[in-house]
């Protein structure tokens, strides 16, 4: 691509790039074009999974775990673990990294996902929301817990109920950025 001229590309936040591709600031154009290549690759064999979470952002633990990850894991298990593409979820990506030990998952930035949907460039499935407390489904939650325990290699005693306690810590600096959800 060296020496090719890029006239204008705009990015979220109003950044515009002009000039030779190999001289663009911060590699933004190169990353954009690499993302477009990923988009083309994704459309050939992967299904884009879009959980329709109830309310809130997938960048926050409750909506991510129950509104995003639970529908994805349930869908993948019900369909014999096909390859899929998911949106990047910021600090929650460590959970997505965990499930890649069992599923063939690629991450795509939210902007590229939107582009893929608008252009009709990749098959997709909108999954039903599972984070509405009025709609909780006990068997699905228990299956999800078993699957995630298996993926994480956790052993859970079956003889009695168990409780998982999550300690809320300081917010990740990621959330201080005005571009977060």
Shared domain check, 108 and 134 = yes
Shared domain check, 133 and 66 = yes
33 touches 1 (CB < 8 A): yes
Residue 173 domain-assigned? no
**What whole-number distance in Å separates Cα of residue 36 and Cα of residue 21?**
15
At residue 4, the pLDDT reads 46
Query: CB neighbours of 55 closer than 8 A, spacing ≥ 6?
Result: 63, 131, 132
**Which residues span the domain enclosing 112?**
49-167
At residue 2, the pLDDT reads 44
* Total tally of structural domains belonging to the chain: 2
Shared domain check, 58 and 12 = no
* Residue that the structure tokens 């790039």 belong to: 17
Shared domain check, 162 and 77 = yes
Q: What is the pTM of this model?
A: 0.66
User: pLDDT averaged over consecutive 10-residue blocks of the chain (181 residues)?
Assistant: 41 41 48 54 71 81 88 91 89 90 91 86 86 85 87 76 68 73 70
At residue 76, the pLDDT reads 92
Residue 179 domain-assigned? no
At residue 57, the pLDDT reads 81
């Amino acid at each position: 691509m060296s020496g090719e001229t890029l006239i204008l590309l705009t990015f979220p936040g109003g950044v515009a790039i002009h000039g030779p591709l190999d001289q663009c600031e911060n590699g933004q154009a190169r990353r954009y074009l690499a993302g477009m290549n990923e988009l083309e690759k994704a459309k050939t064999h992967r299904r884009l999974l879009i959980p329709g979470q109830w309310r809130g952002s997938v960048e926050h633990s409750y909506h991510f775990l129950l509104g995003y990850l639970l529908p994805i894991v349930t869908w993948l298990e019900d369909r014999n673990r096909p390859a899929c593409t998911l949106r990047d979820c910021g600090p929650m990506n460590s959970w997505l990294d965990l499930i890649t030990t069992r599923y063939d998952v690629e991450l795509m930035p939210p902007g590229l996902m939107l582009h893929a949907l608008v252009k009709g460039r990749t098959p997709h499935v909108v999954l039903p929301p599972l984070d509405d407390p009025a709609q909780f489904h006990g068997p699905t939650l228990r299956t999800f817990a078993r699957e995630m325990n298996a993926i994480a290699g956790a052993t859970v005693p079956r003889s009695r109920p168990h409780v998982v306690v999550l300690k809320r810590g300081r917010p990740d600096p990621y959330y201080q950025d005005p571009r977060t959800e």
